[in-house]
Amino acid sequence: MELSDIEAAATLLVDVVRRTPVEPSGSLGRRVGGEVWLKCENLQRTGSFKIRGAYVRIARLTDDERRGGVVAASAGNHAQGVALAAGLLHTPAVVFMPEGAPIPKVQATRDYGAEVRFAGLTVDEALSAAKAHAERTGAVLIHPFDHPDIVAGQGTVGLELLEQVPGVRTVVVSAGGGGLVSGIAVAVKSQRPDVKVVAVQADGAAAIPGSLRAGHPVPLEGMTTMADGIAVGCPGDLPLTLISRYVDEVRTVSEDGLARALLLCLERAKLVVEPAGAAGVACVMETGGRLEPPVAVVLSGGNVDPLLMMRVLRHGMTAAGRYLSFHVRIPDRPGELARLLAELAASGANVLDVEHSRTRRALHVDEVEVALILETRGADHRQAVLDGLRTAGYSFSID
């Protein structure tokens, strides 16, 4: 893979993909002590960078291959990229998705014209089904990350970044199978070897570090993460080779970190970003002081199920000290619940939910248990609320 391959892919993509904007983030900039720019691939056609590689791959097929159709596997973003690219190039497409793939991503894939089939519980299982379909039917497999055309297409993000943020010193990119970060790394390092490229994976789906240590792709035994877009159990051969050559560092981020990052993108940057797309932001939030500015963070996708968004935002608010859930026992006599609520009101906490129970086995006959969910203004306010309850004589357990 060379810079010329990525430049040729960029020529193919003229008038096909958006040149997505970069937006400054003052909130993240304060964490690194310099400029931070967000490369908004969440605003790309289909809501992620995937259209870039998918279009390049399908456009370079022969006419006969396109007539025979293509097949792909994805949790959603690659599915939509393949579906749109195939439609633009008048190519039949079948996409295998894991059971439980986000409904909006499934529906969008169908709306772009692809046939959706379900197989397995993970992207890797769906990919096995897609490979079997290709062998049976002769359809061309459009791999989500392990093909030179895919990597070259994704690498065009790096070309744009260097033009948009010419003084960049650090580029932070989320990574699953490695197609995006490897392509960006080739594009960036070939022109600016002084720029540091950081790949970011979720703690519960980090296949790249072990594979780099082994010198070849090593599959994970299992994965657990909310970031379905980067929940890939084994990196590709080509991306891993390029990562080992061009990527300076691979970091991992926690589930709490992903949730806080998504919340920051929504509240401060006014951008809807899926958990996988926010992994780079989570990295800056957790280790920003060790990144040399100016920093460019790729927001790789914005396709998030609204139900998942609500759960993740609640998780993020809890992790940020904005929610407090606890149980407290109070005497079972008139006015005690009112006294407790008055204490909380005086502390400035907002009561979101109250459950009043007299029937738990561990309770004494003269006690009731109250379960409360509060909204607080942050970690310091949360601690002040708890300290106030202790001072008032309440004993409680935090959920």
Domain count for the chain, please give it: 3
Q: What is the pTM of this model?
A: 0.83
Both tokens assigned to 264: 């920051």
Cα–Cα separations (whole angstroms), residue 109 to 82, 268, 321, 343, 382: 8, 30, 37, 52, 43
Q: Are 174 and 277 contacting, i.e. CB atoms less than 8 angstroms apart?
A: yes
Least confident of 136-150, 209-223, 368-382: 368-382
- What confidence score (pLDDT) does residue 357 get? 78
Answer whether residue 362 shows pLDDT above 80: no
Residues 271 and 393 in one domain: no
Residues 174 and 225 in one domain: yes
Q: Are strands 396-398 and 323-331 parallel, antiparallel or unpaired?
A: antiparallel
Measured between its terminal Cα atoms, the distance across the chain in Å is: 51
Spatial separation of the C-alpha atoms in residues 16 and 31, rounded to whole Å: 36
Share of the chain above pLDDT 70, in %: 98
- Please give the residue that has the higher pLDDT: either 20 or 266: 20
pLDDT-derived band at 361, boundaries 50, 70, 90: low
Q: What is the pLDDT of residues 161-185, one digit of tens each?
A: 999 999 999 999 999 999 999 999 9
- What confidence score (pLDDT) does residue 360 get? 67
Task: State the angle between helix axes of 50-59 and 148-164 in degrees (0 to 180), rounded to the nearest 10.
Answer: 130
Cα three-residue angle 257-258-262, rounded to 5 degrees = 115
Last residue of a domain, one of 141, 160, 185: 141
Which domain CATH number covers 377? 3.30.70.260
Tell me, what amino acid is at 294?
A: P
Last residue of a domain, one of 83, 113, 141: 141
Q: Which residues contact 207 (CB under 8 A, 6 or more apart)?
A: 201, 217, 218, 219, 220, 232, 233, 234, 235
Torsion of CA 182, 185, 170, 253, to 10 degrees: 10
Last residue of a domain, one of 82, 110, 141: 141
Q: What is the pLDDT of residues 206-251, one digit of tens each?
A: 999 999 999 999 999 989 998 988 988 899 999 999 999 999 999 9
| Selection from 357, 122, 147 nearest residue 239 by Cα | 147
pLDDT-derived band at 100, boundaries 50, 70, 90: confident
| Selection from 385, 378, 383, 307 nearest residue 346 by Cα | 385
Residues 232 and 133 in one domain: no
Residues 307 and 251 in one domain: yes
Residues 296 and 346 in one domain: no
Answer whether residue 124 shows pLDDT above 80: no
Phi-psi group of 29: left, alpha or beta (phi > 0 → left; psi -120 to 50 → alpha; rest → beta): alpha
**Alpha carbon 337 to its chain's center:** 42
Q: Which residues contact 158 (CB under 8 A, 6 or more apart)?
A: 6, 171, 183, 184, 185, 186, 187, 188
Share of the chain above pLDDT 90, in %: 65
- Please give the residue that has the higher pLDDT: either 207 or 357: 207
pLDDT-derived band at 276, boundaries 50, 70, 90: very high
Residues 195 and 290 in one domain: yes
Q: Are 248 and 267 contacting, i.e. CB atoms less than 8 angstroms apart?
A: no
Spatial separation of the C-alpha atoms in residues 170 and 161, rounded to whole Å: 11
Answer whether residue 194 shows pLDDT above 70: yes
- What confidence score (pLDDT) does residue 30 get? 93
Q: What is the pLDDT of residues 40-84, one digit of tens each?
A: 999 999 999 999 999 999 999 999 999 999 999 987 899 999 999
The H or E element that residue 253 is part of is strand 249-253
| Selection from 147, 89, 136 nearest residue 114 by Cα | 89
Answer whether residue 334 shows pLDDT above 70: yes
Q: Which domain holds residue 374?
A: 321-398
- What confidence score (pLDDT) does residue 354 get? 87
Q: Which residues contact 34 (CB under 8 A, 6 or more apart)?
A: 292, 293, 294, 295
Answer whether residue 359 shows pLDDT above 90: no
Residues 35 and 68 in one domain: no
Answer whether residue 313 shows pLDDT above 80: no
Cα–Cα separations (whole angstroms), residue 117 to 89, 105, 130, 135, 136: 21, 13, 9, 16, 15
Both tokens assigned to 358: 């007299």
Q: Which residues pair with 38 in a beta bridge?
A: 23, 297
Which domain CATH number covers 61? 3.40.50.1100
- What confidence score (pLDDT) does residue 24 get? 97
